[in-house]
């Protein structure tokens, strides 16, 4: 957040010969560091008949790697005091950790074992697949999560919309040999991203990454062919107490020249507690406890995904009000609304600058989407520079819609005209 | 985390004549600050026939206060760029916010309006009660949350175990006049706590708090009479895909001399990924996707609350394994287990030292539970000082149990012998 001189010393970037890119953000005043490792093994490039393969693999590689068996590996990483997570998104499999900076650096060897030299044991595979099947079945008890998964499936082009948790029939057909083949094909250096943020020195990190990942094999993934989603309305009957509503429409991708005006329009719709959806649907009309929409980013694709959970007897009124508030954006936003939205977004940027985990995730995301890191200062200035004419001009020329609507609940709803 | 001299300059405490206590933690290197305001209006002291009154009131006071109506108040706080939350726990109603330090300080006037001069409008009351009723009904779609709420109800003495969301029949009988009476009785300075952490100066904060809260009326709450919970087993039939299991047993309160050994025993059971529950129930036997237990603190009462969500056909095996792992603690933990648990807990303490929101919440909690702030250094040293003999001695003399068990799912389970 300082001048150019200092900013240049905060951010670092290096791509190794094998295609792995290292990103660093040095954060003064921190004792901790965080690491995000993105592998180009997302749900979108699960093999067509093996949806969920990436999720099973992400669990399986943790069950023993390098010189450590499953238990030794877990105990080793716990002895470093690291908070860890892993998961599969649309584009990537992600491994992340945070802790004391020296310990995060020390863990790089174990993480290179995990992604390069996992044992992939048979009994571990059976357990990992069982857990994946259970977690998929558990979705039936979480209609809120379910409607968002289905909204992505019905709005995004295939295979981007695939549920990373997989499909029951596919998971049941999965074998340890197929997992081994997947591993060989999908865990590689080319297009992988490793990002560290916090109390770190770039030279030291670069040396460690070179040592543990420098000779990692790199080959590319095949390009994906995108197909249109199955339709723009989906109703799934479920005997639930509430009706869960998902609404989506297209926006511009992050790299588009209109990204910031488009993003600010979404903030006016649903940023902070004075956002239109919260004010109109929840505060004024008390139609539902939970309502909101947010900008969602895929490579080359931007969209707005919204959710409302409401009692069954108010579901139609909630959907009508939801859609009508989105349409009302076409008439433009006020300067006051935009100012509030800008302040809110800038404050959240500053807050994220105090979280090593948030920054490691953000610079990895930036690099994947844009091929470069945006500094905190750049983001703040870009937000500040948006004026109300730009937003309203954007909204006039890009009326929200057409909408994709997904309903999970006991009764089908009518799509508003 | 520095020596005594510096530590003394990091923490500040002052109790005003009216009984309000101000706590501050100055965090070098931060631009942000966070505020936590605790009022002694928790679910436990909702009037006996008005369960949920505190929750409705916490929503209602935000709908206009001081010179601002509902919309102006929301817009004002959004213009300060504050991330805000509010809610009702067992002991307190909590209002919290985080943002740029100057803006958090600026918001104190509005927060004093909210807790001292709310408009409590009739139409706001109807909306607030509607939202509370909806949110309560929505619980039926969230069996995981439901089992934890019921576990507290069946394990903790009444009225501590009350669901802060209330009871449908009570909410339906609530009126705006009863809310006004509740407000007069329960929102007051005596025993209220306001904590700020981050980029702040104590003198400046104290002056601002004096100005906005110094002449706030202070009177005390009546002492609560605690009654035993309804029983130690509860089954709630629900046509869910998974069976949701809650298990609880008593521990020592935070102020007890055995607190740290007791707390470390829970960490060995379920801290990190090498904790026993995760290793045995999830990793080795793949019985369930989600399992864990954690220490939970009430004033004068400590307990361990555990949860497992599992497929219906593995539910009995999961419960058996869950209970047997807890019992196995009686045989003691190893030095290696304890060391990992200590490292994990110390790392999380250091990480929390980089979050203004975490620290504002923690010092307020400490003061309520212990009457004083623990420094980060004190906590780290206390964890470090625990040895394996202390933990095993504690476990030998305090065998886990008796257990309270709550099941939400299609089929009742047998309680293990």
**ipTM score here?**
0.93
Given a cut of 70, is residue A395 above it in pLDDT? yes
A347:B103 CB<8 A: yes
Q: Looking at the partner chain, which of A131, A244, A356 has a beta carbon nearest the beta carbon of B286?
A: A131
Res. B6 pLDDT band, cuts 50 70 90: very low
Average of per-residue pLDDT across B152-180: 97
Cross-strand partners of B12 = B24
Of B287 and A197, the one with more pLDDT: A197
CA diameter of chain B: 63
* Partners of residue A264 in chain B, C-beta under 8 Å: none
Q: Which long-range contacts (CB under 8 A, 24 or more apart) does A68-75 make?
A: A68/A110, A68/A113, A69/A119, A70/A119, A70/A121, A70/A124, A70/B283, A71/B274, A71/B279, A73/A110, A73/A113, A73/A114, A74/B272, A74/B273, A74/B274, A74/B279, A74/B283, A75/B274, A75/B336, A75/B340
In the block, tokens 């009225």 appear at: B159
Burial environment of residue B203 by CB neighbours within 10 A (0 to 12, 13 to 18, 19 or more)? exposed
Give the model's confidence band at B328: pLDDT under 50 very low, under 70 low, under 90 confident, else very high.
Answer: very high
> Is residue A218 exposed (0-12), middle (13-18) or buried (19+ Cβ within 10 Å)?
middle
Q: Is the pLDDT of residue B138 over 70?
A: yes
With a cut of 90, say whether residue B368 has pLDDT above it.
yes
A346, B81: Cβ pair inside 8 Å?
yes
With residue A99 as reference, give the H or E element that holds it.
Answer: strand A93-100
| Of A68 and A141, more confident | A68
- For A249, the enclosing helix (H) or strand (E) is strand A242-251
Q: Which of B344, B415, B412 is nearest to B383 (CA)?
A: B344
Q: Determine whether the interchain pair A31/B282 forms a contact, defined as Cβ–Cβ distance below 8 Å.
A: no
What's the mean per-residue pLDDT of chain B? 95
Taking CA–CA distances from A268, the nearest residue in chain B reads B78
pLDDT, tens digit, 9 for 90 and up, residues B265-277 = 999 999 989 999 9
| B201 contacts: CB under 8 Å, gap ≥ 6 | B26
Bridge partners of A242? A311
> Could you say which of A99, A141, A340 has the minimum Cβ distance to residue B241?
A141
From residue A271, alpha-carbon distances to A17, A279, A294, B58, B104 in Å are: 42, 11, 8, 21, 19
Helix (H) or strand (E) holding A134: helix A122-138
Place of tokens 């900013």: A7
SS3 label, residue A296: strand
Contact residues on chain A for B83, CB-CB shorter than 8 A:
347-348, 351
Which residues of chain A neighbour B131 with C-beta distances below 8 Å? 282, 286, 289
Mean pLDDT of A315-342: 97
What's the pLDDT at B225? 92
Burial of residue B180, with CB atoms counted within 10 A of its CB: 0-12 exposed, 13-18 middle, 19 or more buried = middle
Q: What is the spatial distance between Cα B396 and Cα B331, in angstroms, rounded to a whole number?
A: 7
Q: Residue B5: pLDDT above 90?
A: no
Which of A79, A283, A351 is opposite residue B343, by nearest beta carbon?
Answer: A79
Short-list A59, A54, A97, A61, CA closest to A78: A97
**Residues in Cβ contact with A203 at an 8 Å cutoff, skipping those fewer than 6 apart:** none
Q: B178: alpha, beta or left, given left = phi > 0 and alpha = psi -120 to 50?
A: alpha
Q: Distance (Å, rounded) from C-alpha A138 to C-alpha A145?
A: 10
Classify residue A139 by its DSSP letter: G
The tokens for B260 are 């740290």
pLDDT of residue B106 exceeding 70: yes
Spatial contact of A229 and A158, defined as CB atoms under 8 Å apart: yes
Collapse the DSSP code of B298 into the 3-class scheme (helix H, G, I; strand E, B; otherwise coil) and give the result. strand
Backbone angles phi, psi at B32, to 5 degrees: -95, 170
| Nearest CB to A74 within list B128, B273, B336 | B273
Q: Collapsing DSSP states into helix, strand and coil, what is residue A60?
A: helix
Identify the H or E element spanning A309. strand A301-311
Cα separation, A190 vs A39, whole angstroms: 9
Please check whether residue A53 is in contact with residue A163, taking contact to mean a CB–CB distance below 8 angstroms.
no
**Using one digit for the tens of pLDDT, what is the confidence trace for A10-22?**
999 999 999 999 9
Bridge partners (DSSP) of residue B65 are: B68, B118
Burial of B239 (0-12, 13-18, 19+ CB in 10 A): exposed
Contact A289 B138 (CB under 8 A): yes
Give the containing element (helix H, strand E) for A281: none
Helix (H) or strand (E) segment spanning residue A189: none
Contact yes or no for B273 and A78 at CB 8 A: yes
- Please report which residue ranges of B24-142 form alpha helices under DSSP H: 53-60, 70-79, 101-106, 108-116, 122-138
> Average pLDDT for residues A255-276, to the nearest whole number?
96
pLDDT at A8: 54
Confidence category of residue A1, pLDDT binned at 50, 70, 90:
very low
- Set of chain B residues whose Cβ sits within 8 Å of the Cβ of A166: none
Sequence-ordered list of residues with C-beta below 8 angstroms from that of A94, at least 6 positions apart, any chain: A36, A37, A38, A39, A85, A86, A87, A88
Measured on CA atoms in the order A105, A106, A107, A112, is the torsion positive or negative?
A: positive
Tell me the pLDDT tens digit for each residue of A152-165.
999 999 999 999 99
Question: Residue A3 has what pLDDT?
Answer: 36
The mean pLDDT value for B246-261 works out to: 98
CB-CB under 8 Å, A351 with B141: no
Mutate to test the interface with B, among A34, A286, A321, A340 (most CBs of B within 10 A): A286
Over chain A, what is the mean pLDDT?
A: 95
Please give the Cα distance from A86 to A132 (Å, whole number): 14
**Two tokens at A80?**
């470093």
Spatial separation of the C-alpha atoms in residues A316 and A320, rounded to whole Å: 6
Q: List the single best residue of B272, B287, B290 to mutate versus A (max A Cβ within 10 A).
A: B272
Contact call for residues A58 and A87 (beta carbons, < 8 A): yes
CB A329 within 8 A of CB A269: yes
Phi-psi bin for A191: left (phi > 0), alpha (psi -120 to 50), beta?
Answer: left
**Three-state helix/strand/coil letters over A365-405:** HHHHHHCCCCCHHHHHHHHHHCCHHHHHHHHHHCCCCCCEE
Interface-testing mutation among B243, B274, B314, with chain A (most A C-beta atoms within 10 A): B274
Question: What pLDDT is attached to residue B3?
Answer: 36
B contact test, residue of A277, A321, A347, A384 with most B CBs within 10 A: A347
Dihedral angle, C-alpha B143, B283, B295, B414, nearest 10 ° = 60
- B361-390: burial string, b at 16+ Cβ within 10 Å, e else: bbbbbbbbbeeebbbbbebbeebeebebeb
Three-state DSSP class for A37? strand
**pLDDT band at residue B8 under the 50/70/90 scheme:** low
B407 contact partners, CB below 8 Å, separation of at least 6: B147, B234, B235, B236, B243, B244, B245, B246, B315, B319, B413
């Amino acid at each position: 957040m300082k001048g150019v001189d200092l900013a240049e010393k905060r951010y670092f970037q290096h791509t190794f010969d094998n295609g792995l890119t290292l990103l660093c953000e040095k954060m003064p005043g921190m004792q901790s560091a965080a690491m995000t490792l993105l592998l180009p093994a997302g749900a979108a490039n699960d093999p067509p008949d093996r949806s969920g393969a990436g999720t099973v693999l992400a669990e399986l590689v943790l069950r023993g790697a390098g010189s450590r068996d499953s238990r030794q590996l877990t105990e080793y990483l716990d002895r470093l005091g690291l908070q860890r997570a892993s998961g599969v998104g649309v584009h990537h499999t992600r491994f992340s950790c945070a802790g004391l900076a020296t310990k995060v650096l020390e863990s790089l060897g174990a993480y290179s074992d995990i992604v390069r030299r996992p044992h992939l044991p048979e009994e571990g595979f059976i357990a990992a697949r069982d857990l994946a099947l259970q977690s998929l079945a558990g979705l039936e008890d979480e209609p809120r999560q379910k409607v968002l998964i289905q909204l992505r499936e019905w709005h995004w082009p295939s295979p981007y919309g695939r549920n990373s948790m997989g499909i029951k029939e596919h998971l049941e057909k999965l074998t340890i040999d197929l997992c081994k083949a997947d591993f060989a094909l999908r865990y590689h250096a080319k297009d992988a991203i490793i990002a560290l943020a916090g109390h770190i020195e770039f030279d030291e990190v670069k040396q460690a990454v070179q040592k543990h990942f420098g000779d990692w094999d790199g080959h590319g993934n095949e390009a994906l062919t995108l197909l249109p989603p199955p339709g723009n309305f989906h109703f799934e009957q479920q005997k639930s107490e509430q009706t869960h509503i998902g609404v989506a429409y297209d926006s511009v991708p992050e790299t588009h020249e209109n990204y910031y005006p488009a993003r600010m329009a979404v903030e006016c719709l649903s940023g902070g507690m004075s956002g239109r959806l919260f004010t109109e649907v929840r505060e004024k009309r008390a139609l539902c406890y939970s309502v909101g929409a947010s900008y969602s980013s895929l490579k080359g694709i931007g969209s707005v995904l919204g959710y409302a959970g409401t009692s069954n007897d108010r579901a139609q009124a909630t959907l009508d009000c939801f859609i009508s508030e989105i349409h009302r954006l076409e008439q433009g936003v006020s300067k006051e609304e935009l100012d509030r939205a800008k302040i809110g977004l800038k404050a959240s940027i500053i807050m994220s600058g105090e979280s090593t985990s948030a920054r490691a995730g953000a610079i990895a995301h930036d690099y994947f989407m844009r091929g470069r890191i945006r500094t905190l200062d750049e983001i703040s200035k870009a937000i500040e520079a948006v004026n109300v004419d730009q937003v309203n001009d954007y909204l006039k020329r890009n009326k929200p819609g057409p909408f994709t609507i997904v309903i999970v609940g006991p009764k089908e709803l009518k799509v508003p005209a």
